[in-house]
Amino acid sequence: MRGIRGRVVGTYLIITFLSVVIFEIILIYGLVEFYYSSIEAELSRSAQSIIHNYSQYFNNYDLHRDAKVLLESMPGNTVAQVQIIDDKGVLIADSIEPSMEGKKLDNYDVNMALNGKEAAWKGKIPMTGEPVFSVSFPIIRPDSEEVIGIVRVITTLSDVNEILKNHIIILISLGLCIVFLIFLTGLALTNTIIKPVKEITSAAKAMAQGRFDVRVSKRYDDEIGELGDTLNYMAQEVANQQKMKNDFIASISHELRTPLTSIMGWIITINSGDIDSKEELKEGLDIIERESKRLAELVDELLDFSKFDAGIITLRKSVVNLGELLKYIKRQMEPRAERKGITMTIDVDEHLPLIEADENRLKQVFINIIDNSFKFTQKGGYIDIIGRKNENGVLIRIEDSGCGIPEEDLPRVKQRFFKGSNVVSGSGLGLAICDEIVRLHNGKIDIESTVGKGTRVDVILPV
């Protein structure tokens, strides 16, 4: 397995395997120690019991004479092998193998007991190879602290080792089951990650090919689900941008074709020589002039947009008197207001501070905003231009009594290509360019609008 699944499952397996191995080593070690410690304790009790009986009932401490009697005094339920050894290490009595009597024993526990220390030994019988466990206790004369012999108790480990072997097999099998279950859990967990990731990857590839109608289904409310939502949102936004761009291309084609049609029509008419009066000729030339200016404005708007989009626009800053600039723009736009029957007023503070800005670009911003007000304000309405100083710098407010902007369109009116539901002539680039110009001046544009009441545009510029 490669990729995320291989890494996750592999990590799970390694961690689980190591944990299970360490845990089982500790558990098996504890189990073995428990069994062997229990055996040692039981054998020690038996040896101590024999030594106690010997001290109580045999006072002469003649071990060679008392050894057989000592073995016969053991409880009948004793299954362990008991050996009585003299102070030279020679076996003088054996409860199970009397044939061993007379042989000198050289085991670790025997040697330690001869030195007056209790000891245990675990090993194998040389002739049979049978595993055994033995404990040896010294028999000490109370009056002289002399070791006069040893009581050695031995038991076989065959049955215990078999029990331990079964337990170890069970523990190892259980550990392997746990590792396998963790493996299956890791696979199931990675599937909850891999499947959504594959779906997101597939959707992203489809979107890269231009299929922005593809959507990612949200399986889980987690980071991957959030990634899917983000991808869906991106696809929707790109689709909207594509639609706006297509609408823009169709719109700009229409905007360019309309004045060109008028210009071509009048040029053909003039060239044909069918115009008899100077008045009709003058009217035709006036139309050609107006439509040519309209074409020039559209081309300028497209050039501005391309410069802003490429990030190569530069500002030619100088000290600007905003009050004078706004009064000049009002005088320039008044004839249009009179023609449309719209009241246009201006209210600017006398001591509006001077700012450092590109005067021509700011004029472009204010004229574009006022032009939009004219487009959407009916006869009898008003357009107010207000200039004030505030804590953030200078506030220029242009307010009208037009048809207003629908609430759902407000967040997008400054986006490029967006024309809104109130379709009028235009490229859909004007406000986007204005917003970019104001941002280059470290300012901002805020727009508030109510359908049926009008729109208020605030241009805030730093001093």
pLDDT digits (tens, 9 = 90+) for 103-155: 998 889 999 999 989 999 998 887 788 899 999 999 888 777 788 899 999 99
- Candidates 432, 460, 433; CA nearest to 445 is 460
- C-alpha–C-alpha distance, residues 248 and 255, integer Å: 10
User: What is the predicted pLDDT for the residue at 387?
Assistant: 92
Q: Which of 81-85, 104-108, 193-197 has the lowest mean pLDDT?
A: 193-197
Q: Which segment, 10-19, 71-80, 325-334, is predicted with the most confidence on average?
A: 325-334
**Please, what sign has the CA dihedral across residues 306, 308, 314, 319?**
positive
Q: Where are the alpha helices (DSSP H) in 78-222?
A: 108-114, 158-208
Alpha carbon separation from 229 to 156, 190, 204, 211, 225 (Å, rounded): 71, 20, 12, 17, 6
pLDDT tens digits, 24-54: 999 999 999 999 999 999 898 888 888 888 7
Assess contact for 344 and 367: CB atoms under 8 A: no
The pLDDT, as a whole number, for residue 265 is 81
Task: Name the strand (E) or helix (H) holding 290.
Answer: helix 278-310
Tell me the C-alpha distance between 404 and 400, whole Å. Answer: 9
Beta-carbon count within 10 A of 245 CB? 13
- Asked if residue 137 lies in contact with residue 150, where contact means CB atoms within 8 angstroms, the answer is yes
- Alpha carbon of residue 86 to chain centroid: 78
Give the integer Cα–Cα distance in Å for 460 and 463. Answer: 10
The DSSP result for 194-221, as a single string, is: HHHHHHHHHHHHHHHTT-TT------SS
Domains along the chain with CATH numbers: 3-163 (3.30.450.20), 241-310 (1.10.287.130), 318-461 (3.30.565.10)
Is residue 373's pLDDT more than 80?
yes
The pTM of the full predicted model, rounded to 2 decimals, is: 0.49
Q: Pairing between strand 444-450 and 454-461?
A: antiparallel
